[in-house]
Structure 1
Amino acid sequence: MTTRTGTARSGDLQICFEEFGDPDDPAVLLIMGVGAQMVFWRTEFCEQIAAVGYRVIRFDNRDSGLSSKLHGVAAGGGPILWSLLRFFVGQAVPGCAYTLREMADDAAAVLDHLGLERAHIVGASMGGMIAQVFASEHADRTRSATIIMSSNNRAFLPPPGPRQLVALLKPPPRGATREQMIDVNLERATVIGSRSYPADPAVARQHAAEYFDRSYYPIGFARQFAAILGTGSLVGYDETIAAPTLVLHGSEDKLMRLTGAKAVAKAVRGARLVVVDGMAHDLPRPLWDQIVGELTAHFGHAAKRR
């Protein structure tokens, strides 16, 4: 399958992207989550979507992967407990390095670079939050929106499971070696991932090594997490989304609870909620056929509406 790589300019930043499939097919833009590189959308997953007639584009968010890093810029937001409490009641935390709005503009810059007026927007976790902002702020460029394992950060939603939150936010050991960091990332993936569909240990270690060798930049995670806190509740964005919207969530997700997905589906007019049995905060390979089927059916439905 044809694969093309490049970089798009978003202000002063360079956003690294990769695309699959026929350039003449309808575009699908995949947005990944906090601290996650575009390769978390596995190549075979992207090719599976492209094989049924879509031009699939994945990219590294700012501060991750091979995109520009904001070296020396503080994450901002103040003391973490104060920030989390403010966020829990739906208030944006001031003073963060950037917000999800700027990250949505980065996504738009990728489309600009490729000369694409519109695309199906698909986001996972924080990427799902960016997708909500994008579908609101760039409505004319959104063929459809899909929000996977995400939330709209409405006030007083149940918090993440403590074990999952600690696994996500626990800082890496000081002076950790490559092998130690691979072990840390494997442990994190196990804690937040799907117990019903555990990854093959050898494959999981291979992927963790790939992620580390491609880009290890933990401060980028901190700035991206601050961007979530700095944006606050997304309900106002959701209420203006006009594009056909699919909310896809795992029944076992304890990091981003199902209540968050239900909040998105309730706030976006006409949104459809699909709960994937046995899925947690990952995209297990045994579920790809179901997930890709839901995505492409949604894209097709959206095309008929326009």
Structure 2
Amino acid sequence: MQQFVEASSPGIRLWTEQRGSADAPPLLLVMGAQATGVGWPEPLVDALAAHHRVIRYDHRDTGRSSWPFEERPYRIADLAEDVVAVLDGLGIERAHIVGLSLGGMLAQLALADHPDRWISATLMGTSALSTTPYTRPDGTTVPVDELPGIAPEVLEMWARPVEDHGPATEVERRIAHWRVLAGDRLPFDADFFRTLEHRVIEHTGHYRVGTAHGRADHSGLLRSDALAENEVPTLVIAAPAEPVFPPPHPQHLAQSVGNARLVEIPGMGHALPPAVHAPLATAILRHTGAVPPTA
């Protein structure tokens, strides 16, 4: 079922989709920067929907949601309030939340600012919104600003200007981007990502590249104390081939968020190729299934 809900800012609409039994525990999927809700792979959504009422949505300036940034600039923190607005718009009091990349940061903000709205959280492909140092296994500590940065090949691709040479060329550019984000541990399935991007373009209605989230105000995102005091059961997914937030970022995240534990998905990078769908769904469902809906 698809419907629009009001964002946290008046006059902005967010596209949502629900899948699974209406009586099942709600699970909200939050995608990364400039990514639509249909970026969540169908097999993964279906696996989760066998046990949950799965909700996915388009951020502002993506997909079928409003594209207001040029006339009404907003903050990344506003996108986090949209996360809660989706629940409000659908009449959901509490839900499990799963966030990827920027979605993992928005999930952290939602945990810190609205802890009463969440049954559990799963965070992946993201970094801690915390200044807490990372403690290595040998007991030594590393300041947050000394943790590994984004891989050079990713930075190089992000620095390239995006030129309009038509939809076919744009799809191939996106596939090359996914190839870099996926890491080097698993075989790259170009056809899978080609199908994904065709679906995204069809869903959105155009192939223009959005840049709003990269230009939005990123200030005021740290939640060190609130995350340390978190009581919502939280799963951190460790991706050994992650090129954007490479290890030990997941380990640091699990240390920075209270009541968190870590599970590694072999071969995973900063993408969701077919090889990770089953193990990722298993990890998420084991996590959500261990938490009573009324907890």
**TM-score category (smaller protein):** 0.7 to 0.9
- Alignment-mate amino acid for residue 202 of structure 2: D
Native 8 Å contact 1:128 1:147 kept in 2: yes
Q: Does 286-295 or 113-122 show the bigger shift?
A: 286-295
Q: Distance in 2 between matches of 1:62 and 1:304?
A: 29
Partner of 2:134: none
Query: How far off its partner does 1:202 sit?
Result: 2.7
Q: CA deviation at 1:190?
A: 0.5
For the residues of structure 2 that align with 1:292 and 1:13, how far apart are their CA atoms?
Answer: 32
1:26 is matched with: 25
Distance (Å, rounded) in 2 between the aligned partners of 1:54 and 1:232? 30
Q: In the alignment, is the contact (CA less than 8 A) between 2:36 and 2:62 conserved in 1?
A: yes
| TM-score where L is the length of structure 2 | 0.87
Find the aligned partners of 2:190 and 2:77 in 1 and give their Cα distance.
37
Q: Does 1:162 align with 2:152?
A: yes
Asked whether 1:255 is paired with 2:244, we answer: yes
In structure 2, what is the Cα distance between the partners aligned to 1:237 and 1:282? Answer: 28
SS in 2 for 1:302: coil
**Alignment match of 1:5 (pick from 2, 16, 19):** 2
What is the one-letter code of the residue matched to 1:54?
Answer: H
Residue 149 of structure 2 aligns with an amino acid whose one-letter code is: P
Secondary structure of the residue aligned to 2:290 is helix
What is the CA–CA distance in structure 1 between the aligned matches of 2:169 and 2:277, rounded to whole Å?
30
Asked if structure 2 preserves the Cα contact closer than 8 Å seen for 1:64 and 1:217, the reply is no
Given residue 114 of structure 2, which amino acid in structure 1 is its aligned partner? H
Distance 2:274 2:44 in 1: 8
Cα RMSD between the aligned structures? 2.0
Corresponding letter in the other structure for 1:124: L
Alignment of 1:10-89 (within 5 A): 10=7, 11-51=10-50, 53-73=51-71
> Following TM superposition, by how much is the alpha carbon of 1:273 offset from its aligned partner in structure 2, in angstroms?
1.2
Q: 1:190 to 1:36 in 2, by over 3 A?
A: same
Q: Which range moved further: 26-35 or 222-231?
A: 222-231
In structure 1, what is the Cα distance between the partners aligned to 2:235 and 2:100? 12
Matches within 5 A, 1:1-306: 4-10=1-7, 11-51=10-50, 53-73=51-71, 97-153=73-129, 154=131, 155-156=144-145, 157-173=147-163, 175-215=164-204, 216-218=207-209, 220=210, 222-227=211-216, 229-303=218-292, 306=295
SS of corresponding position for 2:27? strand
SS at match of 1:229: coil
Gaps of 5+ in 2: 132-143
In the alignment, the residues of structure 1 paired with residue 22 and residue 4 of structure 2 have an alpha-carbon distance, to the nearest angstrom, of 16
Q: Distance in 1 between matches of 2:148 and 2:217?
A: 16
Distance change in 2, residues 1:169/1:50 (3 Å): farther
Quick one: distance in 2 between partners of 1:160 and 1:68? 30
Distance apart, 1:165 and its partner CA:
2.2
**Does the 8 Å contact 2:234/2:259 carry over to 1?**
yes
What amino acid sits opposite 1:100 in the alignment?
Answer: I
CA contact (8 A) 1:100 1:133 kept: no
User: Is the contact between residue 126 and residue 228 of structure 1 (CA under 8 Å) also seen in structure 2?
Assistant: no
AA aligned to 2:150 is P
Q: In structure 2, how many angstroms separate the alpha carbons of the residues matched to 1:200 and 1:59?
A: 25
Secondary structure at 2:82's aligned position in 1?
helix
CA–CA distance in structure 2, aligned partners of residues 71 and 268 of structure 1 = 31
Per-residue CA distance 1:248-279 (angstroms, 9 max, x = gap): 02101111212222221111112101122211
8 Å contact kept, 1:186–1:205 = yes
Contact 1:98 1:230 in 2 (8 A): no
Higher helix share: 1
Aligned positions, number: 277
Q: Distance in 1 between matches of 2:177 and 2:66?
A: 25
Paired with 2:105 and 2:273, the residues of 1 have a C-alpha distance of 21
* Mapped partners of 1:255, 1:145: distance in 2: 21
> Which residue in 2 is equivalent to 1:86?
none
Q: Measure the CA separation in 2 of the matches of 1:71 and 1:304.
A: 36
Question: Cα offset for 1:298?
Answer: 0.8
Q: Which runs of 4+ in 1 moved over 6 A?
A: none
2:123 maps to amino acid: I
My pick for the range that moved more, 99-108 or 53-62, is: 99-108
